[in-house]
Amino acid sequence: MKTLKRRRNCSERLYAALLFFYPVGFRREYGREMSLLFADRRREAEGVAGRRPLALARLWCETLIDLARSAPSEHLESFMKGEGLMKTLRTIVLALLAYAFTLTVVAPLYSRNVGKIPGFVASLLDALIFTGLVFNFVYLLLTLPRWLEGVRAVRVTLTITAAVIAVLITIMTLSGGPHLNASILLAQVLGLLFWFTVYLWWVLRRRPSHPPAAA
Protein backbone atom coordinates (compact mmCIF):
# COMPACT_ATOMS: atom_id res chain seq x y z
CA MET A 1 0.00 0.00 0.00
CA LYS A 2 2.84 2.29 0.95
CA THR A 3 4.61 1.56 -2.37
CA LEU A 4 1.39 2.16 -4.23
CA LYS A 5 0.92 5.50 -2.50
CA ARG A 6 4.53 6.53 -3.21
CA ARG A 7 4.16 5.63 -6.89
CA ARG A 8 0.88 7.52 -6.98
CA ASN A 9 2.51 10.61 -5.58
CA CYS A 10 5.45 10.24 -7.97
CA SER A 11 3.17 10.04 -11.01
CA GLU A 12 1.20 13.08 -9.96
CA ARG A 13 4.31 15.02 -9.03
CA LEU A 14 5.87 14.18 -12.37
CA TYR A 15 2.75 15.35 -14.20
CA ALA A 16 2.70 18.55 -12.15
CA ALA A 17 6.33 19.14 -13.20
CA LEU A 18 5.45 18.51 -16.87
CA LEU A 19 2.88 21.30 -16.69
CA PHE A 20 5.89 23.61 -16.77
CA PHE A 21 5.89 23.11 -20.56
CA TYR A 22 2.64 25.09 -20.85
CA PRO A 23 2.60 28.92 -20.91
CA VAL A 24 2.48 30.53 -17.47
CA GLY A 25 -0.97 32.08 -17.96
CA PHE A 26 -2.48 28.78 -19.09
CA ARG A 27 -0.82 26.92 -16.22
CA ARG A 28 -2.15 29.42 -13.69
CA GLU A 29 -5.66 29.18 -15.09
CA TYR A 30 -5.93 25.42 -15.64
CA GLY A 31 -2.89 23.75 -14.05
CA ARG A 32 -4.68 22.65 -10.89
CA GLU A 33 -7.64 21.30 -12.87
CA MET A 34 -5.30 19.42 -15.18
CA SER A 35 -3.51 17.87 -12.22
CA LEU A 36 -6.86 16.81 -10.72
CA LEU A 37 -7.86 15.31 -14.06
CA PHE A 38 -4.60 13.41 -14.35
CA ALA A 39 -5.06 12.10 -10.79
CA ASP A 40 -8.55 10.86 -11.73
CA ARG A 41 -7.18 9.09 -14.80
CA ARG A 42 -4.36 7.58 -12.81
CA ARG A 43 -6.77 6.22 -10.20
CA GLU A 44 -8.86 4.83 -13.04
CA ALA A 45 -5.76 3.12 -14.53
CA GLU A 46 -4.76 1.75 -11.10
CA GLY A 47 -8.21 0.23 -10.82
CA VAL A 48 -7.90 -1.89 -13.99
CA ALA A 49 -7.76 -5.37 -12.51
CA GLY A 50 -4.95 -7.57 -13.85
CA ARG A 51 -3.74 -5.06 -16.46
CA ARG A 52 -2.65 -2.23 -14.22
CA PRO A 53 0.89 -1.77 -15.62
CA LEU A 54 -0.48 -1.77 -19.16
CA ALA A 55 -3.18 0.74 -18.25
CA LEU A 56 -0.62 2.99 -16.56
CA ALA A 57 1.72 2.77 -19.56
CA ARG A 58 -1.17 3.67 -21.85
CA LEU A 59 -2.10 6.62 -19.62
CA TRP A 60 1.46 7.96 -19.71
CA CYS A 61 1.72 7.45 -23.47
CA GLU A 62 -1.52 9.36 -24.06
CA THR A 63 -0.52 12.06 -21.59
CA LEU A 64 2.86 12.65 -23.25
CA ILE A 65 1.33 12.73 -26.73
CA ASP A 66 -1.30 15.17 -25.45
CA LEU A 67 1.44 17.33 -23.92
CA ALA A 68 3.51 17.28 -27.14
CA ARG A 69 0.44 18.32 -29.16
CA SER A 70 -1.19 20.86 -26.88
CA ALA A 71 1.76 22.69 -25.26
CA PRO A 72 3.17 24.08 -28.56
CA SER A 73 -0.28 25.20 -29.68
CA GLU A 74 -0.89 26.97 -26.36
CA HIS A 75 2.51 28.68 -26.68
CA LEU A 76 1.67 29.71 -30.23
CA GLU A 77 -1.66 31.15 -29.12
CA SER A 78 0.01 32.92 -26.22
CA PHE A 79 2.63 34.27 -28.65
CA MET A 80 -0.04 35.57 -31.01
CA LYS A 81 -1.89 37.24 -28.16
CA GLY A 82 1.35 38.62 -26.71
CA GLU A 83 1.19 37.40 -23.10
CA GLY A 84 3.97 37.47 -20.48
CA LEU A 85 7.29 36.01 -21.59
CA MET A 86 5.91 35.60 -25.10
CA LYS A 87 5.18 39.33 -25.20
CA THR A 88 8.83 40.02 -24.39
CA LEU A 89 10.05 37.51 -26.98
CA ARG A 90 7.74 38.94 -29.60
CA THR A 91 8.98 42.45 -28.86
CA ILE A 92 12.62 41.31 -29.19
CA VAL A 93 11.93 39.44 -32.44
CA LEU A 94 10.08 42.44 -33.91
CA ALA A 95 12.86 44.81 -32.84
CA LEU A 96 15.54 42.55 -34.37
CA LEU A 97 13.57 42.33 -37.61
CA ALA A 98 13.20 46.12 -37.68
CA TYR A 99 16.96 46.56 -37.11
CA ALA A 100 17.82 43.96 -39.76
CA PHE A 101 15.49 45.64 -42.27
CA THR A 102 16.88 49.11 -41.53
CA LEU A 103 20.53 48.05 -41.70
CA THR A 104 20.30 45.75 -44.71
CA VAL A 105 17.68 47.50 -46.85
CA VAL A 106 16.92 51.09 -45.82
CA ALA A 107 20.44 52.29 -44.96
CA PRO A 108 22.18 50.86 -48.11
CA LEU A 109 19.34 52.17 -50.29
CA TYR A 110 19.73 55.59 -48.72
CA SER A 111 23.53 55.71 -49.08
CA ARG A 112 23.33 54.59 -52.73
CA ASN A 113 20.89 57.37 -53.62
CA VAL A 114 21.95 60.11 -51.23
CA GLY A 115 23.59 62.10 -54.04
CA LYS A 116 20.33 62.31 -55.97
CA ILE A 117 18.23 63.48 -53.01
CA PRO A 118 17.85 67.23 -52.30
CA GLY A 119 19.87 68.49 -49.29
CA PHE A 120 17.26 68.81 -46.56
CA VAL A 121 15.36 65.66 -47.57
CA ALA A 122 18.64 63.72 -47.38
CA SER A 123 19.29 65.15 -43.91
CA LEU A 124 15.78 64.25 -42.86
CA LEU A 125 16.05 60.65 -44.10
CA ASP A 126 19.44 60.34 -42.43
CA ALA A 127 17.95 61.68 -39.20
CA LEU A 128 14.94 59.36 -39.39
CA ILE A 129 17.21 56.29 -39.69
CA PHE A 130 19.60 57.45 -36.99
CA THR A 131 17.03 58.65 -34.44
CA GLY A 132 14.84 55.61 -35.15
CA LEU A 133 17.63 53.16 -34.33
CA VAL A 134 18.57 54.98 -31.11
CA PHE A 135 14.95 55.63 -30.05
CA ASN A 136 13.98 51.98 -30.50
CA PHE A 137 17.06 50.76 -28.62
CA VAL A 138 16.43 53.09 -25.64
CA TYR A 139 12.72 52.18 -25.57
CA LEU A 140 13.57 48.46 -25.47
CA LEU A 141 16.10 49.02 -22.68
CA LEU A 142 13.44 50.75 -20.60
CA THR A 143 10.45 48.52 -21.31
CA LEU A 144 11.80 44.96 -21.59
CA PRO A 145 12.87 44.80 -17.92
CA ARG A 146 9.52 46.55 -17.15
CA TRP A 147 11.25 49.60 -15.66
CA LEU A 148 8.78 51.85 -17.41
CA GLU A 149 5.62 51.34 -19.40
CA GLY A 150 3.17 53.27 -21.56
CA VAL A 151 3.28 57.01 -22.21
CA ARG A 152 5.86 57.57 -19.48
CA ALA A 153 8.25 55.14 -21.19
CA VAL A 154 7.85 57.03 -24.48
CA ARG A 155 8.45 60.41 -22.82
CA VAL A 156 11.58 59.20 -20.99
CA THR A 157 12.80 57.54 -24.20
CA LEU A 158 12.48 60.87 -26.02
CA THR A 159 14.51 62.65 -23.34
CA ILE A 160 17.27 60.01 -23.24
CA THR A 161 17.43 59.70 -27.04
CA ALA A 162 17.66 63.47 -27.44
CA ALA A 163 20.50 63.56 -24.89
CA VAL A 164 22.33 60.63 -26.55
CA ILE A 165 22.02 62.20 -30.01
CA ALA A 166 23.18 65.59 -28.70
CA VAL A 167 26.26 63.94 -27.15
CA LEU A 168 26.99 61.94 -30.32
CA ILE A 169 26.63 65.01 -32.57
CA THR A 170 28.91 67.00 -30.25
CA ILE A 171 31.54 64.26 -30.28
CA MET A 172 31.37 63.95 -34.07
CA THR A 173 31.67 67.72 -34.54
CA LEU A 174 34.60 68.02 -32.12
CA SER A 175 36.41 65.13 -33.76
CA GLY A 176 36.27 66.82 -37.17
CA GLY A 177 33.12 65.15 -38.48
CA PRO A 178 30.55 66.71 -40.84
CA HIS A 179 29.93 70.40 -40.35
CA LEU A 180 26.90 70.96 -38.18
CA ASN A 181 24.27 73.35 -39.54
CA ALA A 182 20.68 74.37 -38.81
CA SER A 183 19.32 72.02 -41.48
CA ILE A 184 20.93 68.95 -39.86
CA LEU A 185 19.78 70.03 -36.41
CA LEU A 186 16.20 70.63 -37.62
CA ALA A 187 16.21 67.22 -39.34
CA GLN A 188 17.33 65.53 -36.11
CA VAL A 189 14.59 67.30 -34.12
CA LEU A 190 11.95 66.33 -36.70
CA GLY A 191 13.25 62.75 -36.68
CA LEU A 192 12.92 62.62 -32.91
CA LEU A 193 9.41 64.07 -33.02
CA PHE A 194 8.41 61.60 -35.72
CA TRP A 195 9.46 58.56 -33.68
CA PHE A 196 7.98 60.08 -30.52
CA THR A 197 4.62 60.44 -32.29
CA VAL A 198 4.76 56.92 -33.73
CA TYR A 199 5.56 55.34 -30.35
CA LEU A 200 2.97 57.49 -28.55
CA TRP A 201 0.31 56.42 -31.05
CA TRP A 202 1.34 52.78 -30.64
CA VAL A 203 1.17 52.95 -26.84
CA LEU A 204 -2.15 54.81 -26.72
CA ARG A 205 -3.66 52.44 -29.28
CA ARG A 206 -2.87 49.43 -27.08
CA ARG A 207 -4.17 51.04 -23.89
CA PRO A 208 -7.58 49.63 -22.80
CA SER A 209 -10.42 52.13 -23.29
CA HIS A 210 -11.90 51.26 -19.88
CA PRO A 211 -9.73 51.10 -16.78
CA PRO A 212 -9.82 47.64 -15.15
CA ALA A 213 -12.34 47.34 -12.30
CA ALA A 214 -10.85 47.59 -8.83
CA ALA A 215 -10.10 44.16 -7.39
Partner 1 sequence: MAGRDPEELLPLSPAAFQIMLALADGERHGYAIIKEVEGRTEGRVRLGPGTLYGSLKRLVDGGLVEESDERPDAALDDERRRYYRLTAFGRRVASAEAERLAGLVAAARAKNLLSGA
Q: By CB under 8 A, name the binding residues for partner 1.
A: 22, 26, 29-30, 32-34, 36-38, 40-41, 62-63, 65-67, 69-71, 73-74
Nearest approach in angstroms of CB 62 to partner 1 is: 6
Q: Which amino acid is located at 10 in the chain?
A: C
Q: How far is the CB of 8 from partner 1 (least distance, A)?
A: 16
Distances (CA, A) of 26 to 73, 126, 212: 11, 45, 21
Residue 44 beta carbon to partner 1: minimum distance, rounded to whole angstroms: 9
Cα 119 from Cα 107, distance rounded (Å): 17
| Shorter beta-carbon distance to partner 1: residue 29 or 149 | 29
The minimum distance between CB 195 and partner 1, in angstroms, equals 35
Measured torsion, CA atoms of residues 192, 116, 105, 163, in degrees rounded to the nearest 10: -20
Q: Which is nearer to partner 1, 60 or 110 (CB)?
A: 60
User: Which helix (H) or strand (E) element contains residue 171?
Assistant: helix 150-174
Are 86 and 78 within 8 A, CB to CB? yes
Query: Is the Cβ of residue 57 or residue 144 nearer to partner 1 in the bound state?
Result: 57
How far apart, in whole angstroms, are the C-alpha atoms of residue 209 and residue 201?
Answer: 14
Q: What is the closest distance, in whole angstroms, from the C-beta atom of residue 77 to partner 1 in the complex?
A: 8
48 and 56 Cβ atoms separated by less than 8 Å? no
Q: Which one, 40 or 149, has the nearer CB to partner 1?
A: 40
Q: Please, which residue, 33 or 174, has the CB nearer to partner 1?
A: 33
How many CA atoms does the CB half-sphere of 193 hold within 13 Å? 7
